[in-house]
Amino acid sequence: MNGTVLVIGMGLIGGSLAMVIKNEHPNAKIIGHDVNQKELRLAKSLGIIDEMSISLQEAAEQADLIIISTPVFQTETIIEQFQGFVLKETVIITDTGSTKEQIMKSSEMLTERGFQFIGGHPMAGSHKSGVAAAKEILFENAFYMLTPGPNSSEENVRKLKDWLRGSHAKFLIVEPKEHDELTGMISHFPHIVAASLVHQARISSEEHPYLRRLAAGGFRDITRIASSNPTMWKDITLQNRRVLLSLLEDWKIEMEEVMTIIETSDTQKIFDYFHEAKTFRDDLPILEKGAIPSFYDLFVDVPDYPGVISEVTGYLAQEEISLTNIRIMETREDIYGVLVISFQTSEDRARAVNCLNEHTSYELFLG
């Protein structure tokens, strides 16, 4: 496709979408806009965009497709700014926000003027942020939720999908309300739970000094999402307030029931509680990408001697296998420690397993 694409927000998502469009539609002109000039210049130097936008208005008025990839409250502000712009009548405007109902209400000021606003939410992410972490493969096999406005034609939805076809994502058309309820349950609410677990541990650590060291293993893993950007999650929580309050009420009832079966020492109900959770969790798709980025961990039992970490990472570097994180769970003299290596994809982890099996005799476990 030919035309001009404006991507507002040169972060992980915006940068990755720019790469997808640039690679799939080489004749299109990609303009990037960001209040962070450093990220904007980096996007240009990396070849992710063709031009840097200094004036949002000038860039928006020449665009055939506008992608707003900013925090959700900023998205609303940008939509309001568009009111004073002379946009092309045929322009398609979309966003990448994690909430949709409030953004779609804000977009009514554009749809009332005849513009096409199609809400979007690519359900993919990474443990890294910024345009330097952008990847063309970020959205492969991920669900990409679309919430067309009331005036959005099927033809324009098709055009948007065509612009984004290089993402190889799975597009789903949903209502904004349903979107927020779905993402509230499987993404927004778990972030609140993770943050609350960390808060509880922080308070307990004042009485139990060893807690921080003991929490370095599994507890740290199950609460990883609590390390997410607090500004972004403040905005998401406020935007999806209604859904989250309802889920928290349900959670209170759930916890009261758990307290009851523990207080009464009901052996069968306690077993059933864990068994039903295990059954449902084990039946969840393994290879699908969901609302929360997956963690592809590899646990390596390594002996405690100088240079062992550089030895392992050196083998992986030779095979050009990218790592997203590396840490040591335990190292003591004369015993084996556990090296935990995180990867962006399951394919990278599988390559790492083959590589280390070929070069070492260390025991490997998937996480």
- Segment 237-250, tens digit of pLDDT: 999 999 999 999 99
The β-bridge relationship of strands 29-33 and 4-8 is parallel
Amino acid (1-letter code) at residue 161: K
Other beta carbons within 10 Å of 204: 11
CA-based max dimension of the chain: 72
Least confident of 113-127, 137-151, 299-313: 299-313
Average pLDDT over residues 17-40: 95
CATH 1.10.3660.10 domain position(s) in the chain: 179-282
Residues counted in the chain: 367
Residues with Cβ within 8 Å of 4's Cβ and at least 6 positions away in sequence, in order, are 28, 29, 31, 62, 63, 64, 65
Interior angle at CA 239, CA 236 and CA 244, nearest 5 = 80
Task: Say what the pLDDT of residue 331 is.
Answer: 40
From 158, 297, 153, select the one nearest 224 (Cα to Cα).
297
The pLDDT score that the predictor gives to residue 236 is: 92
Phi-psi region at 219: left, alpha or beta (left = phi > 0; alpha = psi -120 to 50)? alpha
- More confidently predicted of 323 and 73: 73
- Specify the CATH number for 179-282; select among 1.10.3660.10, 3.40.350.10, 1.10.460.10, 3.40.50.2300: 1.10.3660.10
DSSP helix, strand, coil percent of the chain (3-state; round to 5) = 50, 15, 30
Q: What's the pLDDT band for 127 if we cut at 50, 70, 90?
A: low
Query: What pLDDT score was predicted for residue 334?
Result: 40
pLDDT reading at 76 higher than 50? yes
As a CATH number, domain 4-174 is 3.40.50.720
pLDDT at residue 169 above 90?
A: yes
- What pLDDT score does 102 carry? 95
Distances (CA, A) of 257 to 196, 246, 249, 253: 19, 17, 13, 6
Token pair of 157 as six digits: 């939805």
Q: Which residues pair with 300 in a beta bridge?
A: 339, 364
Given a contact cutoff of 8 angstroms between Cβ atoms, the answer to whether 346 and 140 are in contact is no
Residues 60-87 as b or e (16 or more Cβ within 10 Å = b) = bbbbbbbbbbbbbbbbbebbeebeeeeb
- Average pLDDT in the chain: 89
Q: What is the pLDDT of residue 336?
A: 47
322: CB partners within 8 A, 6+ apart: 343, 344, 348
- How many helical (H) and strand (E) elements, i.e. helices and strands, does the chain have? 16, 12
What tens digit of pLDDT does each residue of 200-241 get? Answer: 999 999 999 888 888 766 788 788 888 888 888 899 999 999
Ramachandran area for residue 365 (φ above 0: left; ψ -120 to 50: alpha; else beta): beta
The pair of structure tokens assigned to 338 is: 């556990």
Residue 278 has pLDDT above 60, yes or no: yes
Average pLDDT over residues 31-55: 94
CATH class held by domain 296-366: alpha beta
> What is the predicted pLDDT for the residue at 264?
96
Q: Where do we find the tokens 């929490």?
A: 215
Q: What is the pLDDT of residue 11?
A: 92
Residues forming a β-bridge with 68 = 8, 95
For CATH 3.40.50.720, the residue range(s) in the chain are: 4-174
Is it the case that residue 14 has pLDDT exceeding 60? yes
| Beta carbons within 10 angstroms of residue 212's beta carbon | 12
Residue 10's pLDDT band (cuts 50, 70, 90): very high
Percent over 70 (pLDDT), the chain: 93
% of the chain exceeding 90 in pLDDT: 61
